[in-house]
């Protein structure tokens, strides 16, 4: 089972956790929440605009989750990614992975985030004191995805 | 015809979100890129072999040798930066 959503609205991790906990087979849930920082590459960040490729995004997320489910024993996966304009401290992304035991949940959660960073069609643009700029892809993100 | 979409930095550089183009003489992503680069200026610059871009064909990540057929949706964009 998986829940995949791309939305402008914020999300509430407690609500998402409650849905996963309803399954009595679940013994472990791991989560990752990505947040907007007020600083990046040595410059202040006023806000962040997230763009995506709607026709492809859901398919890309589903492919990533399917790959995770083939590698680990996962009972439920939740991926929620926000788009639009976000401010420092805002939530950007949530990944929840639920399994019977913690090992599978930890690994799947990290794998999904690493793959999302390099495979899912989202792009960030930052508004800074010296104007707006597109965020550059990081080699460290590519390396993180390649280690799986 | 091919349905071409541009995202993020590429969309801004080209001042274009999408366009319809006839099939290039070589029906691959590389054939299409060769045609787009021949426009010169920002096209040659942003799609130059040494620059960093990605391509999806029909909403799946693809590469330069991916074959194209009429009606395909080809998206060109920078490396992704979500999460």
What's the confidence (pLDDT) of residue B52? 80
pLDDT of the residue at B51: 64
| Min distance A20 CA to chain B CA atoms (Å) | 22
pTM of the predicted structure, to 2 decimals: 0.94
List the single residue in A34, A55, A136 with the smallest CB-CB distance to B83. Answer: A34
pLDDT of residue B48: 86
* Alpha-carbon distance A50 to nearest alpha carbon in chain B (angstroms): 8
Q: What are phi and psi of B71, to 5 degrees?
A: 95, -5
The reply to whether residue A134 touches residue B81, judged by beta carbons under 8 angstroms, is yes
Q: Give pLDDT, residue B50.
A: 63
A127 neighbors A93 (Cβ within 8 angstroms): no
Give the model confidence (pLDDT) of A43-82 as tens digits.
Answer: 899 999 999 999 999 999 999 999 999 999 999 999 999 9
Mean pLDDT of chain A: 96
Q: Which helix (H) or strand (E) holds A143?
A: helix A139-146
Query: How many CA atoms, within 13 angstroms, populate the side-chain half-sphere of residue A74?
Result: 25
Summarised one tens digit per residue, pLDDT across range B25-64 is 999 999 999 999 999 999 999 998 666 899 999 999 999 9
Choose the closest CB to B80 out of A59, A92, A118. Answer: A118
| Residues sharing a CB contact under 8 Å with residue B7, sequence separation 6 or more, in sequence order | A51, A53, A121, A123, B75, B76, B77, B78
ipTM score of complex: 0.93
**Nearest residue of chain A to residue B52 (CA atoms):** A137
A68 burial level (CB within 10 Å; 0-12, 13-18, 19+)? buried
Residues of B in contact with A117 (CB under 8 A): 80-83
pLDDT category of residue A139 using cuts at 50, 70 and 90 = confident
- Which of A60, A120, A123 is facing B8, going by the closest CB pair? A123
Q: A52–B52: do the CB atoms touch at under 8 Å?
A: no
Q: Does residue A113 surpass a pLDDT of 90?
A: yes
């Amino acid at each position: 089972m998986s829940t995949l959503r791309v939305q402008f609205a914020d999300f509430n991790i407690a609500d998402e956790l409650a849905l996963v906990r309803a399954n009595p087979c679940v013994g472990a849930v791991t989560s990752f929440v990505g947040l907007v920082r007020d600083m990046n590459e040595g410059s202040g960040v006023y806000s962040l605009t997230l763009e995506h490729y709607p026709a492809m995004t859901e398919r890309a997320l589903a492919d990533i989750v399917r790959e995770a489910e083939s590698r680990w024993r996962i009972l439920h996966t939740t991926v929620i990614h926000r788009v639009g304009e976000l401010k420092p401290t805002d939530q950007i992304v949530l990944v929840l992975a639920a399994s019977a035991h913690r090992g599978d949940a930890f690994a799947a959660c990290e794998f999904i985030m690493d793959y999302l960073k390099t495979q899912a069609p989202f792009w960030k643009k930052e508004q800074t004191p010296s104007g707006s700029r597109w965020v550059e892809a990081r080699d460290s993100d590519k390396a993180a995805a390649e280690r799986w | 015809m091919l349905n071409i979409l541009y995202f993020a930095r590429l969309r801004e550089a080209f001042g274009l979100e999408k366009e319809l183009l006839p099939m290039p003489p070589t029906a691959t992503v590389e054939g299409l890129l060769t045609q787009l680069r021949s426009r010169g200026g920002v096209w040659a610059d942003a799609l130059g072999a040494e620059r960093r871009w990605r391509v999806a064909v029909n909403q799946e990540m693809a590469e330069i040798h991916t074959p194209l057929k009429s009606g395909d949706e080809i998206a060109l964009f920078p490396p992704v930066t979500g999460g």
